């Protein structure tokens, strides 16, 4: 089924409380159940803003999923600043590099400890999205700009509102301080730039000349110039003292989203909708560099204050952050997650890593503790659907399924492609699972067959027929006396097969719409199934009898997964929620919000109540019970 990316601003959830779980799953007391909270986002999400630290050793990123801080040397995520609802639009550092400010769609500004990531304070006062934040050069004042047409000044120590500057007649998109800290400049949807006297908090001068929305303003480090970028496809350079227009640099067809100055004030970089970053010499207007590599509009640009590095960072709608050598135009680094919807995520058997597969055609391996992407296995055919780890200890093999009818197996340690399984299916392979001894693999396909494969030869041992529609999920387990396979299909049935002979043992019926996901309980006695009919059904894995039906969601359910103790289920849905259920009571324990799209996969860790989820918003999120000491 074709999935279409839908970006919609939804409320992100921040759980509160830290309560111990109940040891008796049949007697759940909701007051004693741990509350899950968002802990980490793997992948960037859409990039809205960038800010180098004053020392140039860190890069802060504002995204639709929160904010992150990258270490420039290791190129790994040091901090995740999570908790604001909606998109984080802007990020900035305090001059002493001890704090970070983020502005978000939930109308708040959060102040964070830059060392620990601890939330210090939330500034409340804007009545619409906060689009820009900027710290004064001496650190005492924070300026913010908003869709509510105002600029606000805050005491950065106490969080008190100092003043509200009102002169713009539309959304204020950007705010910047003069290096001396005595003036502010703001750019607006009303096509104007206003220079403010901070002593009086009054409008000092209005700069006219742009013919469309002014998205970005930046004061040059030497204090002489103000640079502005607008949707009229120009970058303008203004004399900061007189307000006179010094130069207008044509940007071609690209609408300008952001501008940034070089440390010596001799050059200006502009990010635009033509997928490019351009660097100009402001003395003569010469175009020095065109940085090509992004595949979508570039929304953010930042220049490192470390002049020796000549580094420019850019962030894009293609969900990547890139750094470039400003002199040579060379791409020096790239930080990215998936660039299309993430269809599945799975824990490694030791719970130290995660594997994800997406419609960008890649399988990615992540460090579950640090969030660092360890390996990236791209497939030239694109469109990845299923992923599964070998269940054997010390076996780092990962299998992924793709549009091209094959199953590929990689070594997650070395990154080597070990085997390609082909010659069985005639259409895309949606799902994959390993046999308990990891010598065989089972697959389900659009061609309505279940394939059992010999991993060593890479060929199918048997193809099982009987389903009348697409197969979306498969399981393989041993019941002690024999090995079993379960397959869930859009034909609304679950079929149980003998894994050795391939004979059909049972057909489980009850769902009234497509079955999308199956999960086996840890004791291997029960199967949970999730379907487009909005229900989760629990079945006896031995005799196939129905045990329980949970009306879980008001929309399609994409996935279901058991907890390590078998006392909980987690479901994910097209309604953009994750729900956690007590079993066998069927009590809803918690609903998790935060993804900006359909949630295709949510799975419990094999060793804890930590959750991983994968979404149409191109991110993977980790959720931990509040009070869990692990990061």
CATH number where 510 lies: 2.130.10.10
Question: What is the residue range of 508's domain?
Answer: 25-38+339-625
pLDDT single digits (tens) 549-571:
999 999 999 999 999 999 999 99
Same domain, 329 and 283: yes
Same domain, 265 and 377: no
Same domain, 378 and 516: yes
State how far the Cα of 508 lies from the Cα of 495, in Å rounded to an integer: 6
- Residue 528 located in a structural domain: yes
Q: What are phi and psi of 31, to 5 degrees?
A: -75, -15
pTM of the predicted protein model: 0.73
- Residue 261 located in a structural domain: yes
- Residue 7 located in a structural domain: no
Whether the ω angle into residue 582 lies within 30 degrees of 0, i.e. cis, is: no
Same domain, 357 and 465: yes
- Residue 567 located in a structural domain: yes
Of 289, 305, 336, the last residue of a domain is 336
- Residue 117 located in a structural domain: yes
Same domain, 261 and 347: no
Same domain, 419 and 287: no
Q: Residue 256 forms beta bridges with which residues?
A: 272
pLDDT in the model for residue 41 = 81
State how far the Cα of 13 lies from the Cα of 37, in Å rounded to an integer: 7
Burial class (CB in 10 A: 0-12, 13-18, 19+), 475: buried
For residue 27, give the 3-state DSSP assignment: helix
Q: How many CB atoms lie within 10 A of CB 42?
A: 27
Which residue, among 295, 210, 208, has the nearest Cα to 249 in the 3D structure? 210
- Residue 406 located in a structural domain: yes
Question: With contact defined as beta carbons under 8 Å apart, do 577 and 602 qualify?
Answer: no
Residue that is written with structure tokens 């204050």 in the block: 305
Question: With contact defined as beta carbons under 8 Å apart, do 311 and 57 qualify?
Answer: no
State how far the Cα of 389 lies from the Cα of 63, in Å rounded to an integer: 30
pLDDT single digits (tens) 118-169:
999 999 999 999 999 999 999 999 999 999 999 999 999 999 999 999 999 9
pLDDT in the model for residue 24 = 33
Tokens encoding 365: 């391996």
Same domain, 371 and 300: no
**Mean pLDDT to the nearest integer, 388-400:** 95
Same domain, 291 and 408: no
Same domain, 437 and 313: no
pLDDT single digits (tens) 172-217:
999 999 999 999 999 999 999 999 999 999 999 999 999 999 999 9
Structural domains of the chain, count: 2
- Residue 9 located in a structural domain: no
- Residue 2 located in a structural domain: no
């Amino acid at each position: 089924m074709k999935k279409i990316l839908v970006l919609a601003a939804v409320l992100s959830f921040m759980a509160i409380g830290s309560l111990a779980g109940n040891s008796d799953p049949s007697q759940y007391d909701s007051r004693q159940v741990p509350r899950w909270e968002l802990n980490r986002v793997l992948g960037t999400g859409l990039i809205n803003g960038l800010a180098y630290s004053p020392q140039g050793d860190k890069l802060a990123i504002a995204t639709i999923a929160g904010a992150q801080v990258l270490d420039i040397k290791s190129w790994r995520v040091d901090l995740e600043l999570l908790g604001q609802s909606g998109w984080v639009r802007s990020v900035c550092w305090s001059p002493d590099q001890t704090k970070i400010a983020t502005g978000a769609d939930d109308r708040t500004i959060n102040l964070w400890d830059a060392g620990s990531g601890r939330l210090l304070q939330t500034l409340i006062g804007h009545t619409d999205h906060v689009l820009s934040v900027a710290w004064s050069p001496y650190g005492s004042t924070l300026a913010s700009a908003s869709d509510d047409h105002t600029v606000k000044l805050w005491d950065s120590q106490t969080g008190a509102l100092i003043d509200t500057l009102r002169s713009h007649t539309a959304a204020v998109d950007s705010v910047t301080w003069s290096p001396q800290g005595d003036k502010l400049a703001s750019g607006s949807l009303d096509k104007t730039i206003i220079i403010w006297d901070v002593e009086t908090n009054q409008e000092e001068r209005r700069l006219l000349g742009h013919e469309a929305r002014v998205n970005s303003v930046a004061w040059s480090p030497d204090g002489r110039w103000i640079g502005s970028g607008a949707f009229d496809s120009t970058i303008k350079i203004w004399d900061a003292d007189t307000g006179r227009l010094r130069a207008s640099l044509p940007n071609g067809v690209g609408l300008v989203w952001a501008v940034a100055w070089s440390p010596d004030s001799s050059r200006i970089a502009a990010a635009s909708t033509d997928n490019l970053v351009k660097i100009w010499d402001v003395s003569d207007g010469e175009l020095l560099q065109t940085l090509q590599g992004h595949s979508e509009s570039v929304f953010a640009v930042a220049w490192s204050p470390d002049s020796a590095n000549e580094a420019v960072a850019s962030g894009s709608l293609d969900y990547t952050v890139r750094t470039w050598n400003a002199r040579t135009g060379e791409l020096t680094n790239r930080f990215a997650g998936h660039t299309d919807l993430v269809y599945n995520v799975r824990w490694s058997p030791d719970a130290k890593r995660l594997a994800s597969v997406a419609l960008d055609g890649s399988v990615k391996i992540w460090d579950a503790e640090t969030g660092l992407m360890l390996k990236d296995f791209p497939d030239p055919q694109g469109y990845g659907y299923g992923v599964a780890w070998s269940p054997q200890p010390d076996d780092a093999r990962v299998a992924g399924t793709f549009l091209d009818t094959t199953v590929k197996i990689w070594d997650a340690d070395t990154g080597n492609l070990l085997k390609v399984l082909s010659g069985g299916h005639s259409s895309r392979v949606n799902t994959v699972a390993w046999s308990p001894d990891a010598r065989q693999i089972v697959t389900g396909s659009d061609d309505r067959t279940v394939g059992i494969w010999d991993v060593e030869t890479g060929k199918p041992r048997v193809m099982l027929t009987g389903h009348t529609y697409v197969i979306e999920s498969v399981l393989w387990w041993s019941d002690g006396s024999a090995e079993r396979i379960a397959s869930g299909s859009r034909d609304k049935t679950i079929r149980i097969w003998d894994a050795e002979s391939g004979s059909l043992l049972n057909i489980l019926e009850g769902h009234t719409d497509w079955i999308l996901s199956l999960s086996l309980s840890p004791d291997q006695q029960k199967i949970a199934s999730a379907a487009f009919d909005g229900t989760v059904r629990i079945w006896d894995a031995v005799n196939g009898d129905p045990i329980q039906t949970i009306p879980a969601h008001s929309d399609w359910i994409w996935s279901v997964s058991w907890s390590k103790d078998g006392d909980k289920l987690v479901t994910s849905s097209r309604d953009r929620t994750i729900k956690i259920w007590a079993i066998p009571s069927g009590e809803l324990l918690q609903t998790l919000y935060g993804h900006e799209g359909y949630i295709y996969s949510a799975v419990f860790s094999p060793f804890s109540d930590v959750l991983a989820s994968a979404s149409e918003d191109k991110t993977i999120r980790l959720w931990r019970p509040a009070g869990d000491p692990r990061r």
